[in-house]
Chains A and B, each alone.
Chain A
């Protein structure tokens, strides 16, 4: 079982703050790294899928970077808004066995206070 770790487990910020969190993963047999946003009482929604070392993706105020050599990815949120409150999940696909499946981290719960 792959070890995908996210930190911090939870985070409280004020509206307007910028924030970031980390996903760490085994760097061997890397195939793809996913970020999902999961609001309470809803289903996870894909934010980004990154496959190349040095990849940077951006969607509005949210961006992500990837370092496959050292095994980490950062998710950044600029100017947090209350509607950004959610759990942010990262997930790894590796090429060591089946490259069809994802292993998820436990998530970072972000709360943005107005």
Chain B
């Protein structure tokens, strides 16, 4: 299994609070991704990174920011959590980008009350 961990694995937070999710990899892969999984929508890309300090938006980036200060860590921040951001969040990594397999982390279940 690819060495990808996500923390926390579960979190309950209140509307309006900031939340940061962490993705950590030990594979030294260049590309990292954050997705959210919602019923009826499948997996949707929030943000991705194509190198240290190089990030770009996905299709559902509003209300989220990311940072990647080193190869192994990709942080997702919900600046002011809303109930619509209740979801399961998956991190993924890829060695060479969109033409190659992605390996997924175990997911973080976030509930915003």
Contacts and interface: CB of A to CB of B under 8 A. Distances in A.
A66 interface: no
Interface residues of A, number: 24
Contact of B97 (A91, A99, A104): A99
B48 A101 contact: yes
Nearest to A97: B56
B99 A32 contact: yes
Interface residues of B, number: 27
B101 A106 contact: no
Interface string B53-67: 000101100000000
Contacts of B19: none
Interface in B69-93: 90
A46 B90 contact: no
A104 B43 contact: yes
Given A32-B98, A89-B42, A43 B105 contact: yes
A100 B97 CA distance: 5
Most buried by B among A44, A45, A99, A100: A100
Nearest to A104: B43
A98 interface: yes
Contacts of A81: none
Contacts of B58: 101
Interface of A: 1, 31-32, 34, 36, 43-46, 49, 51, 89, 91, 93, 98-107
15 contacts: A31-B99, A32-B100, A44-B43, A46-B102, A91-B43, A93-B98, A99-B99, A100-B48, A100-B56, A100-B97, A100-B98, A101-B48, A103-B45, A104-B43, A107-B42
Interface of B: 31, 33, 35, 40-45, 48, 50, 56, 58-59, 90, 94, 97-107
